[in-house]
Structures are given as C-alpha cells and as structure tokens.
C-alpha cells in the first residue's frame, strides 16, 4: 500500500496531554498545598517540572509541534475565566489578596463562599467549572499563564502552539451569575469578550507564538442560526486582526454539521477537526464545502478518548483522502489526550497478548508520529509498524475474551417483560411505605463514606502481602460497624454500609465481572485532584458470583433500620470504563444489565429492602446531537429497568445522578421507573427539583442539600433553606433529604458535621410542616 505524499512534510501534534505525572505528582503537590504541607513555590516548581517532562516526552517521541497552555492546576475552563478576568464578585477579594488561593477558592469554595458550579465537559468524564456571567460582567485580559508556558517551550527550542478555549465555546458553556435573570444569554457578551481575546493573541504573538489554537467543541452540538452567526462574527473579527499569530480553530467530540461551512469560510489559517467515529462523515462534508484551499488542516484520526489501538491502514486511507482538501495536512488525535491514561507500558499485570490491543497517551502519540511519517514519506517507511498494528487488531478480533456464546444467548433471549416491574408505581409505593415505615422527609446518604488513609493503606498492604485476607476483612468490618453506628446516632433513616471495601464505584464491580480488565496505573483526571482508573471493558460480561451481598448483609445485621444495597448501573459501568468499540453500546449495556440483575436479585433474597442502582452517567453519555438522543435513551433506560425489574413490589429501587444538567432528560428519568431518585442540586439551588415538577415527575426524589465537592460545612439553616426550596416543587410526602453525592472524597470531621446539620434541617422542616398542618 502506498499513499500520496503530502505537498509539505506532514507534522505530528496533539492538542493536550495528561497533566498528573507518572505517579500523580500534581495531585500530591496540590493536596499537600491545601493541607499546608507544601509551599506555593514548591507547588509551582512541581507543576513546572511536570510541564517540562511532558514537553520533553512529546518532542522525544517525534512530535513536530507541542501544545502549551493545556496544563492546569485544576481546570482549563477556570484558567480561561482567569485569562478573561471574569472572576465572580464573591471571589474577587480572595483573588486580589492571593491569586493562587483565590483560584482554588473558586474551584472548591471556602467555609464562607460557595465555589463555581461544576458539570461535565461535553460527553466526557472530565468536569469543568462553569463560568458565571451577567450583563454587568467586564472582561480584562490576563495572559500571564499562557505567555509563561509558551516561553518555557520556546526556551527549549521547541515549536509550540498555545491552546485556548475559544470565545464562543466559553460563552456557550457559561451560565447566568447568581442574581441574574435565568434567561440571560451569555453569548450576548461576545462583542465585549472578543477584544480581550485579541489582546491575549497579541501578547502570545509578541512572546513568539507562530500559531495559536482556539478550541470550539461547542460547535459540534446542535446550534441555532444565531449561535452560528456569532461564531462567524467571532472568527471574522479575530481573523482580520493585524496583530495576531496564525489561528488554528479546533473542534472535536463529533461532527461539525452546519458549523463546518462557517469555520471553513472564516478568515483563519487552519482548522483542526475530529475524523473518528461518526465524525468521519466530516471528510465528505469538508469536500462538499470545497475543502480548505491555502489553509492548514490538522486531522484528528487517532481516537483521543478510548484506549484501543488505532487501525493505521484505515487512518492512512482517511488521510490520503484529506490530502487533496487543504494546503497541508497534519496528524493529531481527535481531541486532547487528557481523557486517556499516560502509558500502557507501565501495566505489568495485563497479559501481553491483551496489552498489545491498548494505546494510552504515550502509545497514541507514537501512532500519530507513525501516521505523519507515512503520509509524508510514504507507507514503505512504516512497514514494520503497519505489520505489528495489523497483528494486534487480528489478535483482538479473534480472541475468545470478546466472544462468550452463553452470554450472547442470554442477552438475545431478553423480552420486553423482563424490563418491566410487576406492578405500577402507585401500588409499589403503597407496599413500600407499609413495609419500610419511614418518616416524612426521610434522610439518607448516597452510598460512600470517607475513604480514610487507613483504609487505603489496608488495601495497599493486602495487595503487597503485608496484611492477610482475615486481617483486611476485620478492618472492613470495624469500619462498617463505625459507619452504621454513626448513622444511627445521627438519626439517619435509611443507612448505607459506607463502601469501605470499594476502591472505586466502577472498578470494584469490574474486577468481579468477567470481560473486564483492571489497570494499575491507568489514572485519568475527573476533576481537580480527583483521578480515577477506568477499567477496560474488553469482552463479553457475566457475573461469576455475588459481589456486594456479604457486606450489605453484615451491615443490615447491625441495625433495625433499612440498609441500602449499593450498585453501579449499567450505563455508568460503560460510561466510566474504556468500553469496547467492536459492537454496539446497546449490546454491551444489555450484557452488563443482566449481570447486575443477578446481583439485585441476590440482595433482595438476602433481606435487602432498599437497593440503589446509581446512574450518574446517564446524562453525560447523552449524544451531543439531538437527532441521536432517542435511540440512546431507549437502550439506556431499558438497561436500567432490566437491572431492577426482577424485584418484589415492596422492594424500593433507588437511583442516583450527579455531575450534569438534567432538565433535558427528565422524561428518561421518568422512564427508568425507579421508586426514588437522588440528584445533585445544592450548587444549582434546587433547579432540578423544579425541572422534575415542571415535567410532572410522579415518584419520590431527593435533590441534594449538601455540596460534597466542597470542603465547606453547610449550616442547618442553609440546608433547611434548600429543603424549603425543594418543597416548592416536590410535595413533602415525596421529598427525601440527602447530600449531593457520595462522601468518599471528604474527610470525617466535615462529613460528621454536615450530616448532623442535614438531619437537624430535616427535623426543623418536619416540625414546620407539622405546625402548618395543625
């Protein structure tokens, strides 16, 4: 096979790279700073060292152009908020007093000041901090971070390209600030924001930038004509500046659709586009608009969000088609490599045959370099790489891991009746109330309690052989006893066992299901210093034996109050894993649902009357285009019901969701047919409660009254005020009282105080309701 040689030597590049370091040095330095064990200068030095190591790794791998500005101490959207001076008024004094402490206060809050809201970055597992804007917002340029990081790369003799969140995406991801009318449209601030971007671009050019990348992933979503016109105006204005570097506008996570001709016609110097998955349709779409004559095209042909090796021959064919559509074609991943782990070669416990199927950030960088070499010099120069790649693809396709006849036969036999409860909700609710006998405004938590250093040490000691199984299990029993005793003393109505045995809400189950692989070093940033190790869903899924029954039953033996069984739902098991890409997601979801159904049935059989199946990823996995929503929600909600529909009417099924905006999936939440749903709501001031009410949601709900993503402890009065706001939308007989999310990342002192305040708030509002009824 040969390919047309590019008119100019193709360059290899990426849009971003994992930030944490090989041993999560960034996490340790930041958390050390928060605890007062690390100085600000030491933190900055650690960050600078990590940036330097990344640049050297990328250049050493053969990249021709490295990104700068993608590194962040917490979140790149928060960095953009600082860059454009959109500091919320409540945080301005802290930022003025100490820029670093003020930055972290915006991210995490303080005891007196609430943080920025956090939500999902499109349909990924990364979270960003939502900018707060209003008609009085004044923008001011602060390019210090972006200029400094560019200069670091240039001083090392590297070709470097600063990467910024584009102005249109920044505004489209923003929300009205507190006190601003809910219908305020931040995009109306575009003309006020563009001069600030112009100033930043001029600063970067003066610092030596030849190219600057402006990321506009919001344009892959459905956009109104007014929003597309705003994008056209933005890049007309920025593109016609005289004092600017060359502009590369990047979009990813899907096909551009109507936004493609807008960007293709803009007076910018290049586009960086995603050509993976469904976005491969943009190859033909780009040809249909006449290509990019005289411009640079950066082709994202390596999947930046999953961990499977690239099909190099397919990517070369795509690149060959693209060569005639632009002045030059360079090669990249489809998006920032922030969304994948650092290096697959660090995994010592995965079989070599399977390891050859995997590509983390380091391996994807090598694939990009290989592809750039192939289109620049001809495929004859990469024959060894192509042969190894084809062998890896064939090994995976032919492996028995990916095909279990028994699992496939069971999934094929599922009927519609298997995904329906035996009685309608009203009859179930009456049976559950009679069985559980809970008070008005029942209190509960979402599942996990603080994962202390002692628990983490015990798990590490067990893995290392320093602690035997009997000793480890005794520590788990002691922790469960303490958690149950605390909840009973505090007055919580529906208890949890605290999940001390679980390392992660997905990984814990993945390690006990066939078809999943666990990594040791596959860390990916979720938000701030929160890193997760998504398991790899490599083959057909089944459950060899019960996974949670033992510890749930033990906790229930300690109390007369109901203890919830806690499971992670099928959609979240997919969304928070690196999922197989060789069959439809709906097929994989059904396999996972059947495995979890067995667990639900066993929990009920062993005396568990309340079972929670968490689906925080239901909203985040929603396709970015509305045309794709119905098909996704059909299989996603069916998978949940298939998991939960085998129980008796008096067994209460809960679900939980967080990290996202839920207004556009309320019908899907209804379609889950869960008896109770708990939702993140504290930072959004009960917005979701009103969205449920507007839909006419008929079941019980617990919008959170305690923001667990912040270290601050809400007062009883604050929690009570949120409860009263919830009661404006949800009647008291259907309202639950709970935190926003699990408590795994919090410390015991703040958890203890916050839950005591939560229970006190529930008692206060119960009393008010009783007084009002007299």
Q: Supply the residues annotated as catalytic.
A: 709
Q: How far is CA 483 from CA 45, 607, 630, in A?
A: 40, 20, 41
Tokens, residue 773: 């009824």
Counting Cα atoms < 13 Å in the Cβ hemisphere of 526 gives: 16
Q: What is the DSSP string of 198-260?
A: HHHHHHHHHHT-SEEEEE-GGGGS---HHHHHHHHHHHHHHHT-SS--EEEEE--SS--TTHH
Dmax over CA atoms of the chain, in Å, equals 87
- Provide the pairing of β-strand 536-542 with 514-517: antiparallel
CA 394 to CA 372: how far, in whole Å? 23
CA nearest 377: which of 333, 337, 335, 331? 331
CA nearest 761: which of 490, 436, 450? 490
Q: Cβ distance 355 to 348 under 8 Å?
A: no
Counting Cα atoms < 13 Å in the Cβ hemisphere of 745 gives: 20
Q: Cβ distance 344 to 363 under 8 Å?
A: yes
Q: Cβ distance 662 to 669 under 8 Å?
A: yes
Q: Cβ distance 725 to 683 under 8 Å?
A: no
Q: Cβ distance 650 to 432 under 8 Å?
A: yes
CA 313 to CA 589: how far, in whole Å? 30
CA nearest 399: which of 430, 355, 344? 355
Q: What is the dihedral of CA 469, 471, 472, 476, to 10 degrees?
A: 130
Tokens, residue 295: 């411009």
Q: What is the DSSP string of 295-359?
A: EEEEEEEE-SSS-BPP-HHHHHHHHHHHGGGEEEEEEEESS-GGGS-S-GGG--SS-HHHHTTB-
Q: What is the DSSP string of 619-686?
A: TTTS-SSGGGHHHHHHHHHHHHHHHHTTS-TTSEEEEEE-SS--GGGHHHHHHT--SEEEE--TTTTT
Q: Cβ distance 742 to 530 under 8 Å?
A: no
Q: What is the DSSP string of 93-129?
A: HHHHH-HHHHHHHHHH--SSS----EEESTTSS-EEE
Q: How many CB atoms lie within 10 A of CB 771?
A: 8
Q: Which residues of 313-337 are buried (b: 16+ CB within 10 A; e: fewer)?
A: eebbebbbbbbebbbbbbbbbbbbb
Residue 491 DSSP label: T
Question: Hey, which residues does 654 pair with through a beta bridge?
Answer: 612, 676
Q: What is the DSSP string of 417-478?
A: GGGS-SS-HHHHHHHHHHHH-PPSS-BB--SB----HHHHHHHHHHHHTSS-HHHHHHHHHH
> SS3 of 487, please?
helix
């Amino acid at each position: 096979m040969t390919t047309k040689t590019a008119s100019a030597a193709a360059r290899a590049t990426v849009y971003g790279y994992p930030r944490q370091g090989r041993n999560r040095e960034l996490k340790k330095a930041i958390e050390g700073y928060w605890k007062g064990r690390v100085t600000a200068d030491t933190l900055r030095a650690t960050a600078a060292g990590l940036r330097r190591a990344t640049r050297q790794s990328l250049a050493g791998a053969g990249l021709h152009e490295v990104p700068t500005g993608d590194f962040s101490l917490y979140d790149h959207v928060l960095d953009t908020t600082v860059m454009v001076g959109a500091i919320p008024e409540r945080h301005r004094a802290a930022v003025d007093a100490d820029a670093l402490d003020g930055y972290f206060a915006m991210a995490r809050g303080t005891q007196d000041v609430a943080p920025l809201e956090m939500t999902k970055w499109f349909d990924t597992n990364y979270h960003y901090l939502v900018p707060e804007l209003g008609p009085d917002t004044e923008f001011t340029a602060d390019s210090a971070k972006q200029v400094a990081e560019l200069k670091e790369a240039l001083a090392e003799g590297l070709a470097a390209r600063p990467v910024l969140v584009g102005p249109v995406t920044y505004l489209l991801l923003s929300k009205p600030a507190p006190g601003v009318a809910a219908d305020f449209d931040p995009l109306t601030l575009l003309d006020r924001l563009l001069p600030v971007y112009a100033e930043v671009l001029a600063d970067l050019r003066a610092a030596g930038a030849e190219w600057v990348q402006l990321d506009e992933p919001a344009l892959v979503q459905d956009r109104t004509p007014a929003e597309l016109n705003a994008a056209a105006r933005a890049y007309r204005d920025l593109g016609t500046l005289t004092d600017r570097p060359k502009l590369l506008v990047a979009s990813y996570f899907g096909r551009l659709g109507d936004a493609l001709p807008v960007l293709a016609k803009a007076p910018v110097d290049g586009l960086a586009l995603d050509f993976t998955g469904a976005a491969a349709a943009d190859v033909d779409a780009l040809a249909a608009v006449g290509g990019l004559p005289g411009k640079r095209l950066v082709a994202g042909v390596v999947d930046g969000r999953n961990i499977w090796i690239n099909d190099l021959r397919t990517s070369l064919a795509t690149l060959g088609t693209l060569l005639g559509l632009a002045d030059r074609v360079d090669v990249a991943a489809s998006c920032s490599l922030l969304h994948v782990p650092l290096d697959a070669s660090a995994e010592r416990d995965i079989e070599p045959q399977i390891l050859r199927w995997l590509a983390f950030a380091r391996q994807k960088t090598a694939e990009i370099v290989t592809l750039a070499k192939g289109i620049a010099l001809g495929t004859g120069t990469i024959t060894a790489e192509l042969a190894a790649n084809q062998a890896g693809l064939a090994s995976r396709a032919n492996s028995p891991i990916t095909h279990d006849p028994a699992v496939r036969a069971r999934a094929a036999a599922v009927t519609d009746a298997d995904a329906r409860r035996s009685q309608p909700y009203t009859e179930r609710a009456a049976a559950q109330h009679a069985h559980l006998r809970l008070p008005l405004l029942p209190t509960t938590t979402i599942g996990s309690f603080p994962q202390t250093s002692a628990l983490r040490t015990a798990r590490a000691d067990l893995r290392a052989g320093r602690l035997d199984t009997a000793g480890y299990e005794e520590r788990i029993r002691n922790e469960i006893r303490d958690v149950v005793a605390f909840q009973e003393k505090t007055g919580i109505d529906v208890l949890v066992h605290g999940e001390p045995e679980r390392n992660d809400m997905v990984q814990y189950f993945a390690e006990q299901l066939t078809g999943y692989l666990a990594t040791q070093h596959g860390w990916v940033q979720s938000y701030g210093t929160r890193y997760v190790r998504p398991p790899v869903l490599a083959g057909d899924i089944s459950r060899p034996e019960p996974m949670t029954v033992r510890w749930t039953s033990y906790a229930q033996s300690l109390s007369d109050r109901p203890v919830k069984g806690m499971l992670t739902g099928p959609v979240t098991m997919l969304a928070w894993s690196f999922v197989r890409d060789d069959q439809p997601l709906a097929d994989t979801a059904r396999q996972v649902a059947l495995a979890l159904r067995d667990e639900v049935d066993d929990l009920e059989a062993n005396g568990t009357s309340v079972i929670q199946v968490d689906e925080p990823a239901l909203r985040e996995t929603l396709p970015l285009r509305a045309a794709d929503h119905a098909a996704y929600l059909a299989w996603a909600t069916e998978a949940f019901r298939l998991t939960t529909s085998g129980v008796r009417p008096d067994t209460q099924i809960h679900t939980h969701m967080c990290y996202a905006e839920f207004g556009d999936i309320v019908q899907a939440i209804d379609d889950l047919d869960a008896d109770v749903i708990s939702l993140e709501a504290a930072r959004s001031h009960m917005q979701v409660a009103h969205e449920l009410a507007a839909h006419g949601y008929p079941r019980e709900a617990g919008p959170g009254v305690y923001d667990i993503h912040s270290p601050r402890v809400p007062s009883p009065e604050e929690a009570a005020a949120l409860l009263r706001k919830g009661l404006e939308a949800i009647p008291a007989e259907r309202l639950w009282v709970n935190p926003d999310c699990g408590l795994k990342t919090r410390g015991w002192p703040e958890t203890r105080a916050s839950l005591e305040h939560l229970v006190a708030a529930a008692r206060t509002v119960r009393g008010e309701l009783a007084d009002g009824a007299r």
